[in-house]
Chain A
Amino acid sequence: MSLSFSASRRLGAFAYEAALEANEEIVVLFGHSGAGKSITLQMIAGLLRPDSGRIAIDGVPAFDSANRIDLPPQRRNVGYVVQDLALFPHMTVAENVAFGLPRSSLQRSRVAGLLDLLQLKELERRRPPSLSGGQQQRVALARALARDTRLLLLDEPFSALDESLRAGLRRELLRLRQELGLTILFVTHDLREAHLLADRLAVFDAGHILQFEDRETVFRKPLSRRVAELTGVANIFAANTIATSPDAVAVEVNGLGLNCALPSSPPSPGRAVDIAIRSERVNLRRGRTSESEENLLEARIVEEFAYGATHTLRLEPAGPGPAIEVEIAARPYEVLGVARQRNWLVELPREHLHVMPGNQPSGPPIA
């Protein structure tokens, strides 16, 4: 099952224009609410008509403004699951799952198969309002898969659930993709969820896709300051390029010299750039091992947040250099004795210092 999508639409002051494709993988559409993620799914499902564009499912055009093709949602055969699930409350679990199937002798066995697949066998005569959130979720998935659908559109399906339930359902989804060879478009604004599920990640902002690449690239090498902000990079510094060598870019941040990993298109000396490093990639050290070590600065912990599994520290530099946020797991936090020591040597490893084009507007603040 493959999907190719490109569409544009004006909605009042909001201009939407995006293109992506997916092929037997999970593509996560990530961004704030109102960024255009849900609209994308609605256009693919046939519930919202683009002004122009082309949508093809397995090579068959479902929408093509140039050739005046616009299949109704009934004929697109995509599974669409929304945040509040939209289960039919007056029907049993089995009736919900069978809703999309034509009445036939096959219907019974198909429903039974789906109930087995999603472990709903014991619940088939119950009605949705009497089920738990996780059970309802599985009913919605079974119903969406009933018509032998290979393309699933999931619009924040887990966001109404407890964290403990979500973990199980994410595993379930990964299993289904594996067993059924599904193509899944998954909308979320939850970074952890996006990272866990995504084969590829499309970062949405204000109706456009800022970056659409495999998960690791988006998280480690954001294309722009805005992508870095959206994907939760805590440390983004404005910097000036000093020199470019075959194995590094030397920059200066608040009077501190740093060597960064070489990007695919290195900036020329004098150019303004933005430098990004994720807070979990920063090292805390007690002292230098040699004078030739690079990318070190002395800093003092000024703020600290304990999240249980991790601690987030904010450090102010003693000399030149930027303020730094560091995330450290609970165990190393204890072993290092961070609670008792406030002054540290902060190391920004060169391979994790990512150079982006500079002087870009940053978006609205990230909540």
Chain B
Amino acid sequence: MNRPAVIERGAMTTVIALTLVFGLFFVLPFAGLVERAIEDGNTFDLWRTEQVRDALFLSFWTSTLSVALAILFGTPVAYVLARSRFRGKALIDALVDLPIVLPPTVAGVALLTAFGRRGLIGQPLDNWTGLTLGFSTTAVVMAQTLVSAPFYVRAAKGGIEAIDPQLERVAYTLGASRVRTFFRVVAPQARPSLIAGIILSWSRAMGELGATLIFAGNLQGKTQTMPLAIIQAFEGSSLGLSGAVALSLILLIVALVALVIFRALAGRAAPPI
């Protein structure tokens, strides 16, 4: 009886076929993008326009700042959520995940109602200090942080949870403070998760569109990030579809290069385990 072998081969063929179809589905859109860009031929001319340079530069540094904020504020939150048990923890967990499941446009509206000129905090802030947050570069960073930080917190929490708490307890008995224990024992072991979280949230921030559009607007050089520039191009600026294609390709290449470099740097610094 060689029927089991036949079944094995059938299963293998199915897996390969499914993988190929799925792979094509992901590769084809990018192939289309590249083909269109080559056909048009003005991708590299666009690179030199001020609008694209502004948008790319703005996207890059606001995303990086958003991730820095996510690390600064999100790491303690991730640690507490991973290590402690308290009443209502499930609720906090759900709140942290909320921006992941919400459409970014909802996040934008929410930000506007809180920090906009007429908002919950925004109005008193405007009255007392004359400071407005909406439609500024600060608003871009706020929108990106809100939608991208949960990805970092999520990944960091998972990474910390996977570490045996006994390691920390033993470190305390060896004289290490909580802070030293975190940096010498917890962080090095959670490193792969922390890096994954950084990459996820940075990518999310780079791609942020909905919340930024509503809360920060679309002002070139001030709040117009790459995704906003693409939308503008697509919706009938002087650039048209070919402009959107070119901008998309530029964003794709820059993001890809940045991620590859980051991964290489982070990977090299990690000790071999």
Contacts and interface: CB of A to CB of B under 8 A. Distances in A.
A233 interface: no
A86 B164 contact: yes
Contacts of B167: 86, 88
Contacts of A75: 175
B189 A82 contact: no
A100 B174 CA distance: 5
B186 to A, nearest CB: 10
A99 B171 contact: yes
Main SS at interface, chain A: loop
Interface in B172-189: 172-177, 184-185, 188-189
B169 interface: yes
A84 B164 contact: yes
A89 B191 CA distance: 13
A185 interface: no
Contacts of B169: 45, 47, 73, 80, 82, 86
B273 A78 contact: no
Given A84-B164, A89-B189, A90-B273, A99 B174 contact: yes
Nearest to B170: A86
B175 A90 contact: no
Contacts of A81: 170
A74 interface: yes
Interface residues of B, number: 18
B11 to A, nearest CB: 34
A46 interface: yes
Contacts of A82: 166, 169-170
A46 B171 CA distance: 12
| Interface of B (DSSP majority class) | helix
A354 B173 CA distance: 43
A127 interface: yes
Contacts, number: 59
B172 A90 contact: no
B173 A47 contact: yes
A168 to B, nearest CB: 23
A100 B184 CA distance: 12
A90 B269 CA distance: 13
B271 interface: yes
Contact of B176 (A47, A74, A80): A74
Given A127-B273, A129-B273, A88 B173 contact: no
Given A89-B189, A90-B188, A74 B172 contact: yes
20 contacts: A72-B172, A74-B172, A74-B176, A76-B173, A78-B173, A81-B170, A82-B166, A86-B170, A88-B184, A89-B189, A90-B188, A90-B271, A99-B171, A99-B176, A99-B184, A100-B174, A100-B176, A127-B273, A144-B174, A146-B174
Interface of A: 45-47, 72-82, 84, 86, 88-90, 99-100, 127, 129, 143-144, 146-147
A-B pairs with lowest CB-CB distance, top 9:
A100-B174, A73-B172, A86-B166, A80-B173, A86-B170, A90-B188, A73-B173, A86-B167, A74-B175
Given A99-B176, A129-B273, 8 more contacts: A73-B173, A80-B173, A86-B169, A89-B273, A90-B271, A90-B273, A99-B184, A147-B175
